[in-house]
Copies of this chain bind each other. A is one copy, B any other.
Amino acid sequence: MRQAGRYLPEYRAVREKVDFLTLTKTPELAAEVTLQPIRRYPLDAAILFSDIMTPVEGMGVRFDFQPGPVVADPIRTPADIDRLRLADPRESVPFVLETIRILRRELPPQVPLIGFAGAPWTLFCYLVEGHGSKTFVKAKAFLFAHPEAARRLLDRLAEAMAAYLRAQAEAGAQALMLFDSWAGLLSPWEFRGFALPAVQKTLGSLQDLNLPLIYFPNQGATLLADAARSGAHVLGVDWRLPLSRAREIAGPALAVQGNLDPAALFAPPQELDRQIRRVLDEAGATPGHVFNLGHGIERHTDPDAVARLVDRVHEWTQGKYGG
């Protein structure tokens, strides 16, 4: 999940100088805020600082952050889909690829860099609804009214995100993650019928890279058995489902990532420890667990709580995964 962000004073210092959009498009600054948490904490991996909307600008979608994404001309009819271009990421997002190249030089060699993209259904939500929403009812109404056009749009987004992630890998990303923030708004039927095939297309086309592929279907407790067929090697799990249960559902071939409640970082130290312990216990003794928050880190999180979390996880897993 997100490592950089407003909970870090050094991030806020950068943001006082530039707006969010500029930050995502300026390689030196995007690399800097990616590195900030790595300098502060002995993290085992870094995740690229960017936004899931960044690559869709190259498809011809105009948007702004207010502070969430607001799309200038949302897709409201099947014909609107034809406006979307498939761009070469080297031309449409050279700044992201340059950020990755800087990071591979600057990151300590033992800290791999995770690249990422938004999953097709989640991007579909923003492109059709036009902005954030609790229910994304316009996006769902489009699915229901125009199922074939919806699949065409999801397919195009799947192709674009596959190219985007491949370009990230070629620039040096050592693992790739697909964030499906709004997967959990779908019933299992709509997930299987629309969101999942698009994820399978994206991840399926990246298998030859031989990099770990991570899929996070947010609020996906009821979708996990299907998500296990996504082509990902690792499934992200929010804090609503115990990891022991997630492992049962996902099967032994997949690793799981998660799933500490981000609110646990607001707990007193002993309670935070107890909840960390619980995640580790539920993950079990076998390998195949990437410790992480179950969702993005909260704005008012105390950086010292994050330090304690990182230390505890290292202390309590010493030797567990071979050191």
A residues with a Cβ closer than 8 A to B are 135, 137-138, 140-141, 144-145, 147, 184, 187-189, 219, 221-222, 239-242, 245, 261-264, 266-268, 271-272, 275, 278, 298, 300
Would you list 28 pairs from A and B whose C-beta atoms are within 8 A, ordered by A residue?
A: A135-B262, A135-B298, A137-B262, A137-B263, A137-B300, A138-B266, A140-B261, A140-B263, A141-B263, A141-B267, A144-B266, A144-B267, A144-B268, A144-B271, A144-B272, A144-B275, A145-B267, A145-B271, A184-B240, A187-B242, A188-B240, A189-B278, A219-B219, A219-B240, A221-B221, A221-B222, A221-B240, A222-B240
A177 to B212, CA, bound (A): 47
Contacts of A262 in B (CB 8 A): 135, 137
Q: How far is the CA of A268 from the CA of B140 in the complex (A)?
A: 12
A135-B263 contact, Cβ under 8 Å, with A188-B240, A268-B144, A278-B189: yes
- 6 nearest A-B pairs in the assembled complex, by CB-CB distance: A144-B267, A141-B266, A140-B263, A222-B240, A144-B271, A221-B222
With a CB–CB cut-off of 8 A, which chain B residues contact A261?
A: 140, 187
Docked pose: A113 CA to B168 CA in angstroms: 59
Bound: A187/B184 CA distance, A: 16
**Which chain B residues lie closer than 8 Å to A219 at the CB level?**
219, 240
Q: When chains A and B are docked, how far (Å) is the Cα of A241 from the Cα of B189?
A: 10
Residues of B within 8 A of A267 (CB): 141, 144-145
What 16 additional pairs, Cβ within 8 angstroms, besides A141-B267, A222-B240? A135-B262, A140-B263, A140-B266, A141-B263, A144-B271, A144-B272, A145-B266, A145-B267, A187-B239, A187-B240, A187-B242, A188-B242, A219-B219, A219-B240, A221-B221, A222-B241
Of the residues B145, B188, B221, contact of A268 by C-beta under 8 Å: B145
- What B residues does A240 contact at CB under 8 A? 184, 187-188, 219, 221-222
Q: What separation, in Å, do the CA atoms of A145 and B266 have in the docked complex?
A: 8
Residues of chain B within 8 A (CB-CB) of A137 are 262-263, 266, 298, 300
**A145, A187, A219: most-surrounded residue (chain B CB, <10 A):** A187
Cα(A272)–Cα(B135), bound, Å: 17
Give chain B residues whose Cβ lies under 8 Å from the Cβ of A221. 221-222, 240
Instruction: Report the Cα distance A240→B218, complex, angstroms.
Output: 13
Residues of B within 8 A of A264 (CB): 144
